Amino acid sequence: MTAVLPSATLPSTLAGGLSRGRVELLMFLRDRTAVVFTFAFPAMILLLFGTIFGGSGDDRSGVSASQVYSASMIAYGALSTAFVTMGSGLAMDREDGTLKRLRGTPLPAAAYLIGKLVLVLVLSIAEVVVLVGVGALVFGIPLPDASHWLTFGWLFLLSTASCGLLGVAVSAMVTHARTAGTILNVPVVALQFISGVFIHPITQLPHWLIVVASIFPVKWMSQGFRYVFLPDSMRALEANGRWELGRTALVLGAWTVIGLVLCLVTFRWNQKDR
């Protein structure tokens, strides 16, 4: 009687993605320079802005400019970590042949992207911990209560997912890994200035520029994080004088869906697949 061997089953996409995420984290942690600059740069920007402009602020609410920057810079940290890390990492994997080698394995494209999102999520959490720590310890930003932490949770997840997926889509425009940083950082820097991260209150900007910023997720990310960490009286300094959490969720959710669709349309294992 011949023994019947159990058929081999491929791991699920989620399991493969989580396994790939572990590999991505290990490879990232081995590059000490990348680790230091990924976390140090947003914290350094926060320290500079908070120190230079810390003496100004809203006298009525007692909120200093450094505290406003501490809240707004969380959006910058999430954007730079998710968008730039995802986009540049994908471009590098495509150029050095990593994607070509993975294509010959049972790992599906969805599992590879899940692995990248795991990397981005872990790095973004660590980045937020650093920025909140600097804001609380150096500039005295108060930590939110439980209900505000709940808002922080969905806001952070939508911010990371939308920026990470958009990073994947934009990486399709990168023909050489050495130019990835320049291409990806141009929209990052521009959006910071028109979205109320570096310039607050945002009403100092021309109205048409605020309208343009409202199309993109960064304006809503920074506004949402200010809601989480700043007193309710600070809503008067927002573009419409309200926190607009519902609209924030809709915009970030829409960009997450757009990013996912663009990933499905633009993802290629190598440049020849274009």
Question: Tens of pLDDT along 34-57?
Answer: 777 777 888 888 888 888 876 655
Is 70:141 a contact under the CB 8 Å cutoff? yes
- The C-alpha atoms of residue 72 and residue 228 are separated, in whole angstroms, by 10
Q: Is the pLDDT of residue 273 over 80?
A: no
Assigned domain for 248 exists: yes
* Among 1, 79, 87, CA closest to 263: 87
CA distances in angstroms from 68 to 53, 157, 178, 211, listed in the order given: 10, 21, 35, 21
What is the total count of domains within the chain?
A: 1
Longest dimension (CA), the chain: 87
Is 180:171 a contact under the CB 8 Å cutoff? yes
pLDDT reported for residue 209: 92
* Element housing 40 (H / E): helix 32-52
Q: Find the radius of gyration of the CA atoms of the chain.
A: 20
DSSP-derived 3-state class of residue 196: coil
- pTM comes to 0.86
Torsion of CA 74, 76, 79, 85, to 10 degrees: -100
pLDDT reported for residue 255: 95
Assigned domain for 7 exists: no
Is 156:203 a contact under the CB 8 Å cutoff? no
Assigned domain for 178 exists: yes
DSSP-derived 3-state class of residue 238: coil
- The C-alpha atoms of residue 145 and residue 181 are separated, in whole angstroms, by 37
pLDDT reported for residue 104: 81
Structural domain range at position 73: 14-47+63-273
Averaged pLDDT, 102-107 = 82
182 or 57, which is more confident: 182
Instruction: Spell out a b/e string for 116-143, using b for 16 or more CB atoms within 10 Å of the CB, else e.
Output: bbbbbbbbbeebbebbbebbeebbebee
Is 77:197 a contact under the CB 8 Å cutoff? no
Q: Is the pLDDT of residue 72 over 60?
A: yes
* Among 72, 47, 82, CA closest to 194: 72
Q: Which tokens hold the place of 91?
A: 């471009």
Assigned domain for 35 exists: yes
Tally of residues, the chain: 274
| pLDDT tens digit sequence for 209-258 | 999 999 999 999 999 999 999 999 899 889 888 999 999 999 999 999 99
Phi and psi at residue 63, to the nearest 5°: -95, 125
Assigned domain for 54 exists: no
Torsion of CA 130, 57, 233, 222, to 10 degrees: -40
Assigned domain for 127 exists: yes
